[in-house]
Structure 1
Amino acid sequence: MTFEETGLKPEILKAIAEMGFENPTPIQEQTISHLINSTQDLVALAQTGTGKTAAFGLPVINNISMQIKEVQSLILCPTRELCLQITRDLDKFSAYIPGFKTIPVYGGADITKQIRELKSGGQIVVGTPGRVHDLIRRKLLNISAIRWMILDEADEMLTMGFKEELDAILATTPAEKQTLLFSATMPLGISEIKSKYLNNALEMSVGKRNAGAENVEHHYYVVHAKDKYATLKRIADNYPDCYAIVFCRTRMETRDVAEMFMADGYNADALHGDLSQAQRDQVMARFRSKQLQMLIATDVAARGLDVTELSHVINYSMPDDPEVYIHRSGRTGRAGKSGISVTIINMKETGRLKQIEKLSRKKFERKMVPGGEEIVEKQLFHLIERVKNVDISSGQVEKYLPQILDQFEGMTHSDIVKHFVSLEFNELLDYYKNARDLNIRVEAGRDPMGRNDRGSERSGDRMSFTKLFINAGKKQNLNASGLIGLINEYSNRRNIEIGKIDIQRKFSFFEVDSAFEKDLVNALNNQVIEGHVINIGKVQSIEGQPASREGGSFRREGSGGGYGGGRPREGRSREGGFNDRSDRPRRRRN
């Protein structure tokens, strides 16, 4: 199919032709014609990098009436980066439609400027739930006449705790509208969104559900937790042309890794929620233009960062949700190119990696952390290749050649090469001299993920985890990342391994490395957070029955009182409360 066959207007076809669009992607091919000709609600699933913005943006722009002055479409997305990316794309699509205007509204920026833009009028508003809800509540944004309601990355908006804002926003929209839900992943929460917000929705999907991208290799390295950073440096050194995003779990971890990485001389920078909008824009511009080779980021901060040429995605910390891994890995291997998704794990994380392997239907290949000699050889031949390919046609060096050759008089060709290589490599050679082996060795014939030579899984080998209970859950706006943040902030240790996390409405269960069980209970028990007294303790079975959320009774050691109620204080932003704990500044211990 060509774009001409989809039914788009000539003005739009001209704009996308200038952008280099030739044929629609599979998700665009399925959705554009349908949305131009139908008012049926839609749920569309497609992996990252398949052109979802054009899939909903082109038909909406095509059908919008320039005679109507009110806002005709509202697009909600989880982050300001994604908001700005969608706005840029829509501006390009509508370049040849006189008077067409898309207005972005998001937190972290001057609201007065956004209010002025809204008062001047526009056809589409793209925004984050918090800022959109605020503007509606203050009667500065009227969406009572919209014809299209679009939820982009709706699952991520729920994960980030925007459910109340979504409910409030959707309550102000007209009943007669077309609701479109686009997502890269399809967790169980999407079913709830569909049943509550959509009517008789048509479902479309491109590729297998929850399947990883086809042209991405999946590698993993098994090391001790204390060697993760050293492993990251060796991976960077072993791929001299690496252009990658390095994903960390929290803002604190992102800052720490980025600071160490830059101090060690790597061409990198950090992207996290503590940066101002101007700082974030600057970092992203440098990364997009390849002035930065590696970007250290959290999942939320990287949303909306549209880069199509990544060679690697590096999981410095494994995500808690396997769906997040699929989304991360989908950022490389785009536009028909190949890519590599790398994960650095320790032995206690092999079970989680095995779950991801099963969900994504991809075989993960274990790689050995390269040694010093291997890295030096890779860097040496990379330098030689660069020297061979350097452009000397300008002749700017010609006039200096006689003096240069005089300086090398008496030296052989071999000596000159040795001097140049030594000048570039002495420091690297010294660094990797007698470099130790970072790999964790396992018995012959087995791999750390529990597969033998024939790929079957090994039974047994339960991690040494203790199951704990905490009297906080979804009602207190606690999610998995927020829980991990509590552990990071209140424990006096780093790199505590966390197993399965189960967030319920008023309470939660989670697994923690048994070696740190008592320390964690003592550190968190009776802490007061947002007016809520924390009770935490070990889950034990009673009368021979295993304690679980399905299984009735349990008791909590070292805890007292009830579950408690508690809500975040009025006026507290969604970044506050329980889910802000992972990102509080914390002194780094040597």
Structure 2
Amino acid sequence: MEFKELGLGEELLAAINELGFKEPTPIQEQAIPHLLEDPTDLIGLASTGTGKTASFGLPLLHYVDLEMNHTQGLVIAPTRELCIQIANDLEMFGKRMKKLKIVSVYGGTDIRKQIKELERGAQIIVATPGRLVDLINRKKVRINDIDTVVLDEADEMLNMGFKEDIDTILKQTPKDKCVWLFSATMPDEVARIARTYMVEPFEITVGSKNVTNKNIEHQAYTVKERDRYFALKRLIDFNPNIYGLIFCRTRRETAEVADKLMAEGYSAEPLHGDLSQAQRDRVMGKFRDKHIQILVATDVAARGIDVDDITHVIHYKLPEDVENYTHRSGRTARAGKKGISIALINTKEGRKLKSIEKIIQTNFDIKKLPTPDEICEKQLFKLVENVENEVVNDKAIDKYLPEVMKKFDDLTREEIVRKFISVEFNKFLNYYANSKNLDADFNESKGKGRDGRDGRERRDNRMDDDKERFFVNLGRKDGLNQGALVRLICDNTGLKNKSIGRIDIMNNFSFFDGDKEHKETFIKKLQDVNFEGKSMNVEVTKDGGGKGGNGKKKRKPSSKERNRRRK
């Protein structure tokens, strides 16, 4: 079936054709004809990324009376990002409808500007629940004459605590309106909304209720808790073309994981509730434009992210609410593409994994982590592929080439290739040289230390002999994190991040390990550097302070000693 068979008007069909859409997705194929023929209440259940926006957006535009300036359609979405995305999609679908006015309203931006846009008229409003309630209370928006209310990602809205706001909004709407509810899952609270505000809704289910996208491959890796981060690094290294999301449970965990990855040179940034709206927009813009490969996020911060081509979703920790796994994994395999959802679990989480399998009605593929040899092979051939595909600027290079070729007169072709590959590849060879398998089943392998880690992965927690420990007078309370410190050091010294070792960010101050050979550079170049209005000072520590230093740990006094001190 093609879109032209669904009954849409010429203006909408022309816009769809220009966008390159030919065949509707299953949810679109079922929802659009029904809503065009019989605009009654409707429940559409389909996993994230299956084209739900067009399923309700095209019929909504079909019914808009362009000669009327009052609000006729209302779309409610859980997050600012999804709100903006829906409004943009509706504008693209309706770009040939000359008098169409769509206004999006959401928190985190100037409400006065949104009020001015509403005062000019809006046939369709796309809103987040909190901002819409605010506008209703200010009497700046009228929804008592609307024809249709769309609740998109209804389960996510209720998970985020918008139950009271949804009730407040729907009570302001006319009784004879149509309610179109779209959701990936159907928990009790969503069912309650349907019972309260809908009349004999027509239900469309693509797949089964709560079932995840069939194009997603679900994998799980069992590791000891202390090896979780090192396992994550192996998975990233094994997938050099990754464009993915890493989900953590808390803001603190999200920041820590992202900071560690950035400090070690990975193309990653965090997305969590402690970021300002401007920071969130900056991070999301970089991720959408693929200027960063990995976004480390909390469940709440990532809700509403609608980004195509995400290859992997990695669950650094499984969600507290197992139903959230569906939303997380649904960020990949969008628009009919394939994707991989990876869960890192410890040896005690088998039951939780079984609970998720019941919900998604799919079994996890329990896998072993890639071995060092497998990772190095992947990275080597990725490097070779990059060299092979690199565009050479012959005109710029030709003048240097004769002198360069002289340097290689005594080397064979194979030796030259080996040396060029080693420039980039040695870091992986060195890192994985003494590494063993991190899978939980193999934690008793020879070569493991008492902490369960091995090789370089165990040595990451101590300072190398060729490193110096430096003190920084700024800390967490000043807004400093590991990624920010790395950027400050590299930008102001001209050194690469490989010159930096362990970083410890405390509340009032910080420490970092730096190459001894660049000691004077660190001291000279980082003095009085401005960081968010504060002057940074750096000095060499006297006793290797901080968690990663060589200072001796104070012995904890015994109970007898504590009692003697009290006396």
Aligned residues: 446
Aligned to 1:73: 73
TM-score by length of 2: 0.76
Measured against aligned partners, the alpha-carbon deviations of 1:329-351 in whole angstroms (never above 9, x if no partner) come to: 22222333322111101011111
Measured against aligned partners, the alpha-carbon deviations of 1:16-70 in whole angstroms (never above 9, x if no partner) come to: 1111111111111111122122231011101111110110011111111112221
Say whether residues 1:98 and 2:98 are aligned partners.
yes
Aligned to 2:191: 191
Measured against aligned partners, the alpha-carbon deviations of 1:493-543 in whole angstroms (never above 9, x if no partner) come to: xxxxxxxxxxxxxxxxxxxxxxxxxxxxxxxxxxxxxxxxxxxxxxxxxxx
Give the letter aligned to residue 303 of structure 2. Answer: R
Instruction: Using the aligned pairs only, state the percent identity.
Output: 51
Partner SS, residue 440 of structure 2:
coil
Say whether residues 1:335 and 2:335 are aligned partners.
yes
Aligned to 1:566: none
Query: In 2, Cα distance between the equivalents of 1:336 and 1:72?
Result: 32
Give the letter aligned to residue 407 of structure 2. Answer: Q
Query: In 2, Cα distance between the equivalents of 1:190 and 1:442?
Result: 44
Deviation for aligned residue 1:123: 0.7
Give the letter aligned to residue 299 of structure 1. Answer: D
Query: In 2, Cα distance between the equivalents of 1:360 and 1:15?
Result: 35
- Check 1:153–1:427 CA distance in 2 against 1; reply closer, same or farther (3 A cut): same
Structure 1, unpaired ranges of 5+: 444-587
Give the letter aligned to residue 202 of structure 2. Answer: L
Deviation for aligned residue 1:2: 1.8
Partner SS, residue 441 of structure 2:
coil
Measured against aligned partners, the alpha-carbon deviations of 1:166-204 in whole angstroms (never above 9, x if no partner) come to: 111111111110011001122232221111111111111
Tell me if the contact between 2:243 and 2:293 (Cα under 8 Å) persists in the aligned partners. yes
Tell me if the contact between 1:271 and 1:280 (Cα under 8 Å) persists in the aligned partners. yes
Tell me if the contact between 2:105 and 2:131 (Cα under 8 Å) persists in the aligned partners. yes
Measured against aligned partners, the alpha-carbon deviations of 1:436-468 in whole angstroms (never above 9, x if no partner) come to: 43211179xxxxxxxxxxxxxxxxxxxxxxxxx
Larger C-alpha radius of gyration, 1 or 2?
Answer: 2
Say whether residues 1:50 and 2:85 are aligned partners.
no
Query: In 2, Cα distance between the equivalents of 1:410 and 1:100?
Result: 72
Query: In 1, Cα distance between the equivalents of 2:285 and 2:102?
Result: 22
Give the letter aligned to residue 82 of structure 2. Answer: L
Deviation for aligned residue 1:264: 1.1
Partner SS, residue 121 of structure 1:
coil
Measured against aligned partners, the alpha-carbon deviations of 1:51-93 in whole angstroms (never above 9, x if no partner) come to: 1011001111111111222111111111111111111111111
Aligned to 2:167: 167
Query: In 2, Cα distance between the equivalents of 1:268 and 1:388?
Result: 26
Query: In 1, Cα distance between the equivalents of 2:360 and 2:547?
Result: 37
User: Where do 1:563-582 residues align within 5 Å?
Assistant: none
Aligned to 2:25: 25
Measured against aligned partners, the alpha-carbon deviations of 1:461-496 in whole angstroms (never above 9, x if no partner) come to: xxxxxxxxxxxxxxxxxxxxxxxxxxxxxxxxxxxx
Query: In 1, Cα distance between the equivalents of 2:22 and 2:65?
Result: 26
Tell me if the contact between 1:36 and 1:60 (Cα under 8 Å) persists in the aligned partners. no
TM-score by length of 1: 0.73
Query: In 2, Cα distance between the equivalents of 1:442 and 1:368?
Result: 10
Give the letter aligned to residue 17 of structure 1. Answer: N
Aligned to 1:411: 411
Deviation for aligned residue 1:589: 8.3
Tell me if the contact between 1:49 and 1:331 (Cα under 8 Å) persists in the aligned partners. yes
User: Where do 1:287-302 residues align within 5 Å?
Assistant: 287-302=287-302
User: Where do 1:131-530 residues align within 5 Å?
Assistant: 131-392=131-392, 396-441=396-441
Deviation for aligned residue 1:419: 1.2
Say whether residues 1:126 and 2:126 are aligned partners.
yes
Query: In 2, Cα distance between the equivalents of 1:3 and 1:423?
Result: 53
Measured against aligned partners, the alpha-carbon deviations of 1:213-244 in whole angstroms (never above 9, x if no partner) come to: 22221111111112111111111111111111
Deviation for aligned residue 1:107: 1.1
Partner SS, residue 169 of structure 2:
helix
Tell me if the contact between 2:15 and 2:96 (Cα under 8 Å) persists in the aligned partners. yes
Query: In 1, Cα distance between the equivalents of 2:214 and 2:153?
Result: 21
Query: In 2, Cα distance between the equivalents of 1:276 and 1:104?
Result: 20
Aligned to 1:13: 13
Aligned to 1:83: 83
Give the letter aligned to residue 373 of structure 1. Answer: D
Partner SS, residue 7 of structure 1:
coil
Query: In 2, Cα distance between the equivalents of 1:362 and 1:398?
Result: 57
Tell me if the contact between 2:158 and 2:190 (Cα under 8 Å) persists in the aligned partners. no
Query: In 2, Cα distance between the equivalents of 1:169 and 1:217?
Result: 39
Deviation for aligned residue 1:283: 1.4
Deviation for aligned residue 1:394: 5.8
Say whether residues 1:112 and 2:106 are aligned partners.
no
Deviation for aligned residue 1:372: 2.7
Tell me if the contact between 2:317 and 2:345 (Cα under 8 Å) persists in the aligned partners. yes
Measured against aligned partners, the alpha-carbon deviations of 1:357-412 in whole angstroms (never above 9, x if no partner) come to: 23222221122222333322221121112222323486653444332221100111
Tell me if the contact between 2:223 and 2:440 (Cα under 8 Å) persists in the aligned partners. yes
Query: In 2, Cα distance between the equivalents of 1:337 and 1:83?
Result: 23
Give the letter aligned to residue 183 of structure 2. Answer: S
Tell me if the contact between 2:51 and 2:335 (Cα under 8 Å) persists in the aligned partners. no
Deviation for aligned residue 1:299: 2.0
Query: In 2, Cα distance between the equivalents of 1:126 and 1:19?
Result: 21
Aligned to 1:511: none
Which range is displaced more, 310-319 or 397-406?
Answer: 397-406
Aligned to 1:520: none
Tell me if the contact between 1:271 and 1:296 (Cα under 8 Å) persists in the aligned partners. yes
Structure 2, unpaired ranges of 5+: 444-545, 549-567
Aligned to 2:519: none
Deviation for aligned residue 1:324: 1.6
Partner SS, residue 344 of structure 2:
strand
Give the letter aligned to residue 193 of structure 1. Answer: I
Partner SS, residue 348 of structure 1:
coil
Give the letter aligned to residue 354 of structure 2. Answer: K
Deviation for aligned residue 1:144: 0.6
Tell me if the contact between 2:319 and 2:325 (Cα under 8 Å) persists in the aligned partners. yes
Partner SS, residue 109 of structure 1:
coil
Give the letter aligned to residue 128 of structure 1. Answer: T
Partner SS, residue 332 of structure 1:
coil
Tell me if the contact between 1:81 and 1:301 (Cα under 8 Å) persists in the aligned partners. no
Partner SS, residue 366 of structure 1:
strand
Tell me if the contact between 2:314 and 2:341 (Cα under 8 Å) persists in the aligned partners. yes
Query: In 1, Cα distance between the equivalents of 2:442 and 2:232?
Result: 21
